[in-house]
Chains A and B, each alone.
Chain A
Amino acid sequence: MSSIVISLKNISKRYVMGDETIFTALSDINLDINKGEYVAIVGQSGSGKSTLMHIIGLLDKPTDGKVMIEGKDISTLDDDATSTLRSEFVGFVFQQFNLLNKLTIKENILLPVEYARRKFDYNPSERADYLMKRFGIFDKKDSFPNKISGGQQQRVAIARALIMNPKLILADEPTGNLDTKTGDEIMELFGELNKEGITILIVTHEHDIAERARRQIKIKDGEVVK
């Protein structure tokens, strides 16, 4: 059991629309992600894959079903506890990069540390330096995000996702805003990170991106089809 990072049990998500019709975004999803896995969730837009990602990323709560993290049901946690768990458990990589333009590259990478409520057994600033060196962006550490290329911004975002040493990296269309070559480089980076034992979950609608993962989960109309 301990090798399961996150486990979804009978997850459903329904929205009440304006005229009281109910829209089912997800229905009865069961999913386990194991430690060290490289998983892709594939589906067209509107398939429910984003909703699924938000639930896995603890940004949203399911209408029904249980989310278990390392064997613990988290549906009963309050907002503060969920926020803390989010900072410990998951590192986000977004399609739009979502860096804060008024902070420098290094400050962006260290932003999650500001919200951490624990002592670190490593020096976060040194880890940020190490990640920047490794991703080839160390010379940009005092630049601002709008002054560097898209590929570099996504590397910053990945470094930010890794700074807290999370159990899971959650990437939402990470190559969506990048050209093919840069996208490939970013995907290679994910591959390398996974080889080092980091659990990665990528949400994408592109099959050639999904191909790189070791396991693919296809979503259609809110259900797992494969």
Chain B
Amino acid sequence: MKYVIDLFKSAITDFGKNKGRTFLTSLGILIGVMSVVLLMAAGAGLKLYISQQFESLGTNLLYVMPGNMFGEGGTGIRAGAGGSIAPIFEEKDIVDLKRIKEAEYVIPYYQKSIKVSFEAIAEYSTLNATSEDVFPSRNFVAEYGTVFSSADNSARNKVAVLGSKIAEKLFSDPSLALSKKIRIDGQSFRVIGVLQSKGGGGFGGPDFDNYIYIPYKTGYIFNTDKKFIEIMVKAKTSEALPLLKEDIKNVLLKRLETDDFSVVESTEILNTIGSIFSILNVVLVAIAAISLVVGGIGILNIMYVTVSERIKEIGVRRALGARRNDILWQFLAEAVVLSVFGGVMGLGISAIVVFLMQSFFPAYISISSILLALGTSSLIGIVFGVFPAKKAADLSPIDAIRYE
């Protein structure tokens, strides 16, 4: 054990006397480890972000979608053979689903990109024509005013509830939005409420704060086919989910074919997205790992230089009784120290970058990526250090000591 400690101590002392070269050689490994760790952190963060977004939508949700999108296995997306992905759900389905005992909320989904204007200010937004259930199911709370009711829906009142961001864009101060008339694709609507900010958006996820919500029956102004692309159903309890799933299928099968629609849980969608991101992440990390190999070649190169510079020293050490393996370990330890030094620095810089990133993105460095970074950097030190070290060890003592 003392032998090993001495070995590394002497390697570190050696590098202390050649700081510039040590740093430059480690830089390759530093960059490699940094890119791998950062990509892993970003990937892990993205996954976390998506699942947080799903959780913010509320739990115990079932998505009723057109087409046989998820096979029985539940992970592969495939367009159903007989199914289409055109909107197929009708008002009757909404009413029927609402009657199911386990269903707490039923939220139809009609979405349209629209231009919304207030006086001279015009903005682009996404219109959601849906039921009043959307607010409690997604934990949306009105910050100003109120949300629309089922009465608004039945009466087809032209009332709108704004997300906080779009309200701010149109009115600067969202509290001023109440009772104002806005125009949505030319139609006049009265603002009755502004929602509290939910955050999110900006990374391809839904930007709820920029949405405008109107009752779905009022929405028939835009949704002239009166069809919906998706219906979300929230179960009263998580235990009721499987039963609810069956009931929804039975209700819809009265009108539709098996292949026409699917009922999926949010976890199934999450798993699918998660597996897509995992594959993407593995590919990215593999590309980043190439820079680790390049860093390793840098170490290989500098270790060969070190060995040729120190042939005389090797000879002296052999004359003083060093065995072949003593020399091998000495140079191997130096390569590993170089490489691990780069790895630790890369990890340190990644930690700083991730820390700075966390203010707007939930990236994090997992224990496994720390172990992977340190493991690969020491492995690279060993793999790329072993050839120069072997060369040093195989020098005959007599040739080495006579070398000038």
List residues of A whose CB falls within 8 A of some B CB. 54, 57, 59-60, 79-80, 83-84, 86-88, 92, 94, 98, 100, 102, 111-112, 114-116, 160, 164
| Contact yes or no, B321 A102, CB < 8 A | no
> Given A98-B316, A102-B17 in contact, is the A115-B323 Cβ separation under 8 Å?
yes
- B323 A83 Cβ-Cβ under 8 A: yes
Inter-chain contact A88/B324, CB cutoff 8 Å: no
> Do A115 and B317 touch (CB < 8 A)?
yes
Q: Closest residue to B324 on the A side, CB-wise?
A: A79
CB distance from B391 to the nearest CB of A (A): 16
Which residues of B sit under 8 angstroms from A60, Cβ to Cβ? 397-398
3 closest A-B pairs by CB: A87-B321, A115-B321, A83-B323
Q: By the criterion CB–CB under 8 Å, are B320 and A54 in contact?
A: no
Docked-complex contact A79 and B17, CB < 8 angstroms? no
What is the 8 Å Cβ interface bit string for chain B, positions 304-322, against chain A (1 contact, 0 not)? 0000000011011111111
Q: How large is the interface on B (under 10, 10 to 19, 20 to 34, 35 or more residues)?
A: 20 to 34
Judge whether B96 is part of the interface by a CB distance below 8 angstroms: no
Tell me whether B91 is interfacial, beta carbon within 8 Å. no
- Tell me whether B321 and A92 are in contact (CB under 8 A): no
User: What are 9 contact pairs spanning A and B, CB under 8 A?
Assistant: A60-B397, A79-B324, A80-B324, A83-B323, A86-B319, A102-B14, A115-B323, A115-B326, A116-B321
Which residue of chain B has the shortest Cβ distance to A166 in the bound complex? B321
Interface residues of B in 181-233 (CB under 8 A from A): none
Residues of B within 8 A of A59 (CB): 318-319, 397-398, 401
Q: Does B6 contact A (CB under 8 A)?
A: yes
Contact B316 A100, beta carbon cutoff 8 Å: yes
Instruction: Given A54-B398, A102-B14, A102-B17, answer yes or no on A79-B323 (Cβ-Cβ < 8 Å).
Output: yes
Contacts of B319 in A (CB 8 A): 57, 59, 86, 92, 98
Q: Tell me whether B13 is interfacial, beta carbon within 8 Å.
A: yes
- Tell me if A98 and B312 are in contact (CB < 8 A): yes
Cα(A60)–Cα(B324), bound, Å: 15
A111-B324 in contact given A54-B398, A59-B397, A102-B14 (Cβ < 8 Å): no
Specify which chain A residues have a CB less than 8 angstroms from the CB of B324 in the assembled complex: 79-80, 83
Q: What residue in chain A is nearest B310 (Cβ atoms)?
A: A100
CA of A3 to CA of B322 in the docked complex: distance in angstroms? Answer: 28
Which residues of A have CB within 8 Å of B318? 59, 83, 86
A80, B320: Cβ atoms closer than 8 Å: no
Contact in complex: B321, A86 (CB < 8 Å): yes
Within 8 A of A (CB), among B315-365: 315-326
* A86 contact set on B, CB distance < 8 A: 318-321
With a cutoff of 8 Å between Cβ atoms, the chain B residues found around residue A114 in the complex are: 6
B323, closest chain A residue (CB): A83
The reply to whether A160 and B320 form a contact with Cβ atoms under 8 Å apart is yes
* Chain A nearest Cβ from B221, distance in angstroms: 84
Cα A87 to Cα B317 in complex, Å, equals: 10
Chain A residues with Cβ under 8 A from B397's Cβ? 59-60
Of B318, B319, B321, B401, most A-chain CB atoms within 10 Å: B321
Is B323 in contact with A84, judged by CB distance below 8 angstroms?
Answer: yes
